[in-house]
Structure 1
Amino acid sequence: MKKARVAVGGTVHDAFEYKGKVKLTDGRVFSEEEVEWLSPVEPQTVFALGLNYADHAKELSFSAPKEPLVFLKGPNTFIGHNAWTKRPDEVELMHYECELGVVIGKTAKNVKKKDAYQYVKGYTVSNDYAIRDYLENYYRPNLRVKNRDTCTPIGPWLVDRDDIEDPMNLPLRTIVNGEVVQEGSTKDMIFTVPDLIEYLSSFMTLNENDIILTGTPKGTAGVHAGDEVVTEIEGIGALKNNIISDKEFA
């Protein structure tokens, strides 16, 4: 099942996909444009992966990491489907990044890879924009690169774990203004979903609605005010986002 969180008439509702539309748990049905989309779960601790695709590391002139390169994201970075992302007027290098989001379903500590999927609630799509003007070191990305308000659209759906046969073999792509600009597959991750759950839970407790953003393949490029950006993962959904300038946002 594809689930969502939306706002209608100023009230937040749980919802699900119904015949190409959005059906609230109270039975009302709306078109995609009639609701305000929120992140499909309320994010708790969010882990993001850097350089988790060898082809992306290569295009940035880096060797593949020997262990997961992980950083954390604050809650104000997250917005929903069809929302606006503010592009700082002073920057030159703001790049889209299509990523598989893994939502944790229950408390996890010292999980072994063979058991890892038991702790997954489901999967979503994220576009984890990077503002590389501020990058100090690819192995230590600073806050201004990855923690800007509105710069991580997520959704539209949370797809139940058991509805995805193999999360490690999902085509993904990014479309900017109708043109496909990035293509890849989750099969090319350096550290798989089970790898990441085992690694993170080995030294800290994971909780329900923690999210792991698993990195992006090669093909990242800049976006500008006025661009429409769609990040899509087969079987999970297409996440649409619009870029606006500081002036427009204000």
Structure 2
Amino acid sequence: MTTYLFPPPAVQSVAIRGKSEQFPIHRLFFVGRNYHAHAVEMGKPVDKSVERPFYFTKAPQTLVPSGATVPYPPETKNYHFEMELVVAIGKAGFRVKAEEAHTVVYGYAAGLDMTRRDLQLVARDKGRPWDLGKDIEEGSVCSEIVPMEGVVIESGAIALEVNGDTRQSSNVDKLIWNIREIIADLSLFYHLQPGDLIYTGTPEGVGAVVPGDRITGRVEGVAEVALQVGPAE
């Protein structure tokens, strides 16, 4: 039996609608700038004809469930929300063809990619990694996963409110790279595994929150997600 110097981290998991089992998390992938209007608001328009998707990752330990209260993170003065449709991978896949992407889909969730925007932009403009801006403790939020094995979502309203005021409102059909294309491209770089989550990108309207704010969001036909921003530690 293997013994450890200290207790190893617990397995991160997400609830599954209608099931007693939890969905164990393997990795968290995020697609950057995958809605045209958001790419424009970030000052980096995307030309799909000459560009490929790009990705960043966050540690599974950053994941918190919908409804959580999390502290305003340290070392930022510009903490942003990003509302996203999340794909839950249920089968292994490597070099998956776009037309076969549905075979690795287990289901979907609604998620938030919380971001230290000030630190992300400094890193971006200096050509540095985005880790401090993105890989934030308790900075990845996920609703329960809704099983939809073999289904590829092609459209559906996606929206977010802060304290009841609408900040983001778009449709999944505005993704630059759709779900089939994302799975096909990402699986060229990684052997996708059950438990991987892919956050597919955020529409325009991202903005800052402060302690005391309540974020609520939804993806039509999938789920709702919520987060309460607590005081800074």
TM-score after normalising by structure 2 = 0.85
Deviation at 1:88, TM superposition (A): 2.5
Q: Counterpart in 1 of 2:167?
A: 181
Q: Counterpart in 2 of 1:115?
A: 100
Give the alignment partner of residue 90 of structure 2, picking from 96, 101, 105: 105
- Of 98-107 and 194-203, the range deviating more from structure 2: 194-203
Distance verdict in 2 for CA 1:14–1:126, change over 3 Å: closer
Over aligned residues, Cα RMSD in angstroms? 2.2
Deviation at 1:13, TM superposition (A): 10
Where structure 2 has 5 or more consecutive residues not aligned to the other structure, the ranges are 1-12
Deviation at 1:162, TM superposition (A): 4.8
Where structure 1 has 5 or more consecutive residues not aligned to the other structure, the ranges are 1-11, 18-23, 27-39
Deviation at 1:85, TM superposition (A): 2.2
TM-score after normalising by structure 1 = 0.79
**Percent identity for Structure 1 against Structure 2:** 27
Deviation at 1:158, TM superposition (A): 1.1
Give the alignment partner of residue 176 of structure 2, picking from 177, 190, 213: 190
Q: Counterpart in 2 of 1:61?
A: 43
Q: State the SS of the aligned residue for 2:227.
A: strand
Distance verdict in 2 for CA 1:14–1:172, change over 3 Å: closer
User: Size of the alignment, in residue pairs?
Assistant: 215
Distance verdict in 2 for CA 1:15–1:130, change over 3 Å: closer
Deviation at 1:89, TM superposition (A): 5.1
Distance verdict in 2 for CA 1:56–1:140, change over 3 Å: farther
Distance verdict in 2 for CA 1:141–1:215, change over 3 Å: farther
Q: Counterpart in 1 of 2:199?
A: 213
Give the Cα separation in 2 of the matches to 1:192 and 1:69: 13
Deviation at 1:161, TM superposition (A): 1.7
Alignment-mate amino acid for residue 227 of structure 1: D
Alignment-mate amino acid for residue 235 of structure 1: G
Give the Cα separation in 2 of the matches to 1:91 and 1:121: 36
1:7-86 correspondence to structure 2 within 5 Å: 16-17=17-18, 25=20, 41-64=23-46, 66-86=51-71
